[in-house]
Structure 1
Amino acid sequence: MSEVRSNVRGAEAPVRELRYQRVYDLVLRLIEENGLRPGDKLPSTAELTKLADVSVISVRRALDELDHDGVIERHQGVGTFVAEPKLVSEPGRSGALLGTISDDARTVAFETRLVGLSVGMPGLNHVRALNIQEGQPVWEISRVRLRGGRLTVAERATIPLSLVPAIDEEQLADGSSLYELLAQRYGIVEAYAEQVFQVDRPSQWEREQLELSPTDVVMRVRGVSYTEDDVAFDSYQQTYRADEYVFYVQGRRSDSQLVRPGAGGSWAVRSLGSAQPPAAAAAE
């Protein structure tokens, strides 16, 4: 078996630095060391070219990567700005949907709209998920969530009438939490959930609810919520705009070991001996 040995003396081995990574790291340090906030303007392409001593091509690639990673926003003819942070969704956390979404910087305010409330006959997948008999009626509750007037989450809940004979439509239309209503009226409390995550193109229903195009990308969460007694009471689907969220699932530890769930920036491993342009010079 061949053995690979590390050479910790970076100067003894030739190092090929990726020039676009130099620009990427420079922008991250500019944001951090100068305390830049979402909406603050960043240096232009020409300025970054001089600061990092690289070509325009390297700067453009770095900006493409930063844009893709949600660090910056570019507006044609206006400039490059620090982007709004992505929201952190913790779908594994029990409770109401909005209680699983957070933003490290600010309190997240959502508007809830009730799209539909009806009684119907569940398909076979819902029958199996909820462990009910075929032909047993269910509630189907459809809602969307808006942040700053922008549609950002669409969800459907499917709940057996045998467990929940009545639902107050007016309270749901006013934005009340479905799970809080179930707890208050029927003593139904979520203890845990089974979930499946899927990155996909949006379905027609999802496109209509979130005003998406067929080429957009969504994160779809399908799940089943259970009580402490292992009774399945909700077979649900949640659809998120994939470009606005990061998803965080935690194991047994009670404290986060991943820096912060929404931590941005580069997770690259830099080659030994590669240089870093000083951010202080960029701030002048």
Structure 2
Amino acid sequence: MTPRALDRQSPHPMYHQLKHRLLELIEEDGLAPGDLLPGEHRMCEMYDVSRTVVRQALAQLEHEGVVSRVRGKGTFVAPQKVAEALVHTLHGLHEDMTARGADVTSRVFRQRIESASDEVADALGIAPGEPVVVIERLRFVDGEPWSLSTTWMPEWAGESALAVDLRRRSLYGVLAESGIHAVRGVRSAEATVADPEKAKLLDVAVGGPLLVLRSVGFDEDERAIEFFVAYHRGDRSRFEFQLRAADESVAKLRHTGVEGD
């Protein structure tokens, strides 16, 4: 495509304009993940800007996950991250992704009864050493490694899943068939990096970014029915949060500036 000139009279900074020109270039030329963008020197010529402007624009695009820069090789269109609603809903990965038309499969490493560790017992509200059903799976979305998850359930809740083939099935769906439903949950997300084992399974570099999701789900009787820890690839996923004022007092605090942003 013929590059559109930047507007030097515009109130928007040059790097901001260039960033949007590069987004247009990616969209209009139909560039796909892995495609190489013009080099920095070529961009300077195309848009008549300094290398500083080019680098500022590319830094913003890299921060937003649109491009990835490889030292000595150039700038590439990055695989687009999928927004997952797993933090603010009680859906699992299977439900969230199949609703988007994706194919979700699992490689099951553990599907058995074990004794609850102190951490698991505390999360489930049971005594350490009590039997729990543990299910450890490497999850794939459209054939690509996506997350490594381990779920622990009290024996009464998880026993129905022990003999089920979970390679293509939703664990939540299996539990629902036995009348077990999560109606409330507590979830958290944090950043970490991949150790050698997780890097190999998730096909990322050692030290690469991962997002850790931890969750405890409760049934209508306020019994903990599951505790899971899932490591998601940071280059494929981002979690969405939906926020709202809890009540009028919170809204008033925000309006008066007492509550922080």
Instruction: Give the structure-2-normalised TM-score.
Output: 0.75
Match among 85, 93, 100 for residue 97 of structure 1 = 93
Question: How is 1:146-185 mapped onto 2 (pairs within 5 angstroms)?
Answer: 146-172=140-166, 174-184=167-177
Aligned to 2:5: none
1:251–1:58 Cα change, 3 Å = closer
2:161 aligns to what SS in structure 1? coil
In 2, the alpha carbon distance for the partners of 1:118 and 1:207 equals 25
In 2, the alpha carbon distance for the partners of 1:208 and 1:159 equals 27
In 1, the alpha carbon distance for the partners of 2:181 and 2:40 equals 53
1:84 aligns to what SS in structure 2? coil
Match among 239, 246, 258 for residue 238 of structure 2 = 246
In 2, the alpha carbon distance for the partners of 1:35 and 1:191 equals 46
In 1, the alpha carbon distance for the partners of 2:52 and 2:79 equals 26
Q: Deviations over 1:199-244 (max 9, x none)?
A: 1123565335324444212110111011122211101001111121
1:77–1:217 Cα change, 3 Å = closer
Say if 2:103 is the partner of 1:109: yes
Higher relative contact order (CA 8 A, sep 6+): 1
Is the 8 Å Cα contact of residues 160 and 174 (structure 2) preserved in structure 1? no
Aligned to 1:223: 215
Aligned to 1:58: 53
Q: Deviations over 1:78-132 (max 9, x none)?
A: 87554432111111211332223489xx733233211221221111221121111
Say if 2:59 is the partner of 1:67: no
Match among 225, 229, 235 for residue 237 of structure 1 = 229
C-alpha displacement of 1:252: 5.6
1:114 aligns to what SS in structure 2? strand
C-alpha displacement of 1:168: 4.1
**Percentage identity across paired residues of the two chains:** 26
1:176–1:201 Cα change, 3 Å = same
Aligned residues: 234
Long gaps (5+) in structure 2: 1-8, 246-261
In 1, the alpha carbon distance for the partners of 2:133 and 2:65 equals 38
In 2, the alpha carbon distance for the partners of 1:113 and 1:83 equals 26
Q: Deviations over 1:141-169 (max 9, x none)?
A: 10011234432211000011133334344
Question: How is 1:1-284 mapped onto 2 (pairs within 5 angstroms)?
Answer: 18-31=13-26, 34=28, 36=30, 38-39=32-33, 42-73=37-68, 82-91=77-86, 92-101=88-97, 107-172=101-166, 174-184=167-177, 186-203=178-195, 206-251=198-243
Letter in 1 for 2:91: G
Q: After TM superposition, where is structure 1 displaced by more than 6 Å over at least 4 residues in a row?
A: 75-79
Letter in 1 for 2:47: A
Letter in 2 for 1:246: R
RMSD in angstroms over aligned alpha carbons? 3.1
Long gaps (5+) in structure 1: 1-10, 254-284
Q: Deviations over 1:243-267 (max 9, x none)?
A: 21111122469xxxxxxxxxxxxxx
Is the 8 Å Cα contact of residues 175 and 181 (structure 2) preserved in structure 1? yes
Letter in 2 for 1:100: D
Instruction: Give the structure-1-normalised TM-score.
Output: 0.70
C-alpha displacement of 1:68: 3.5
Is the 8 Å Cα contact of residues 222 and 238 (structure 1) preserved in structure 2? yes
